[in-house]
Amino acid sequence: SQKIEQNSEALNIQEGKTATLTCNYTNYSPAYLQWYRQDPGRGPVFLLLIRENEKEKRKERLKVTFDTTLKQSLFHITASQPADSATYLCALARDYQTGANNLFFGTGTRLTVIP
Amino acid sequence: NAGVTQTPKFRVLKTGQSMTLLCAQDMNHEYMYWYRQDPGMGLRLIHYSVGEGTTAKGEVPDGYNVSRLKKQNFLLGLESAAPSQTSVYFCASRSGGPNTGELFFGEGSRLTVL
């Protein structure tokens, strides 16, 4: 079965710096990979999706890369702010052409941006 | 603009009791999911549905049943609750089609089984 590892449980960085979170997976290459943000006591909120044939995706201060050779995705937050403090989850979908295309989630990385 | 609504938000059960969690979405989504989230385990898929009247098992279906009688509702049932089912349960939905992967989550239902 697919195993998804996010580099660390917790990451602390200084405000204004770039936060880089890692998501590694084993076994099959997913059709696409997603990143979600989760605040304490809340449900996850979708941030970005990147497909297997895409190398990079950007949205405002967020950037996601996808390396199917390394089986890794990197999630970057540039010019980080205390409001970016949250847990970030990566999720993989196996095949978007068939079935329910279920998402499998990593355990998340808790990011704290220090003012 | 409700999105995905879960009820109840909190519940305490005794071992052996039964209960039903209700998930309602107002986005006309085809796909609905029930996940549980435990510390150190991440979100794990319990059951899912690809449309009204259909259900299927996910990664951890044992001890749970589901029903999707109406497109907008997805019910998760525990027939005989066990302490191992203490968790936070999240419902999610998404629209159909191969290129629409974004999940919309509810706020969660925190269940404690004593």
| pLDDT tens profile A2-48 | 678 887 779 999 999 999 999 999 877 777 889 999 999 999 999 99
Query: Considering just the CA atoms, what is the radius of gyration of chain A in Å?
Result: 14
pLDDT at B68 over 90: yes
Does A105 sit within 8 Å of B50, measured CB to CB?
no
More confident position, B31 or B41: B31
Band of residue A95 on the pLDDT scale cut at 50, 70, 90: low
Q: What residues of chain B lie within 8 A of the CB of A97, using their CB? A: 98
Q: What average pLDDT is seen over chain B?
A: 93
The residue-averaged pLDDT of B37-53 equals 91
Using CA atoms, how far apart are residues A93 and A50, in angstroms rounded to an integer?
A: 11
For A43, the closest of B45, B56, B90 (CB atoms) is B90
pLDDT at B100 over 90: no
Q: What residues of chain B lie within 8 A of the CB of A96, using their CB? A: 98-99, 101
Using CA atoms, how far apart are residues A70 and B110, in angstroms rounded to an integer?
A: 37
More confident position, B101 or A100: B101
DSSP code for B65:
E
Beta-carbon count within 10 A of A93 CB = 22
Residue A5 contacts B, CB cutoff 8 Å: no
Share of chain B above pLDDT 90, in %: 83
Given this model, what pLDDT does residue A99 score? 53
pLDDT at A100 over 70: no
Give me the half-sphere count of Cα atoms (radius 13 Å) on the Cβ side of residue A91.
Answer: 27
Given this model, what pLDDT does residue A30 score? 78
Does A107 sit within 8 Å of B41, measured CB to CB?
yes
More confident position, A95 or A86: A86
Given this model, what pLDDT does residue A1 score? 62
Using CA atoms, how far apart are residues B37 and B44, in angstroms rounded to an integer?
A: 6
B110 to chain A: closest CA residue: A41
More confident position, B97 or A56: A56
Q: pLDDT of A66-90, one tens digit each?
A: 998 899 999 999 999 999 999 999 9
Given this model, what pLDDT does residue A97 score? 47
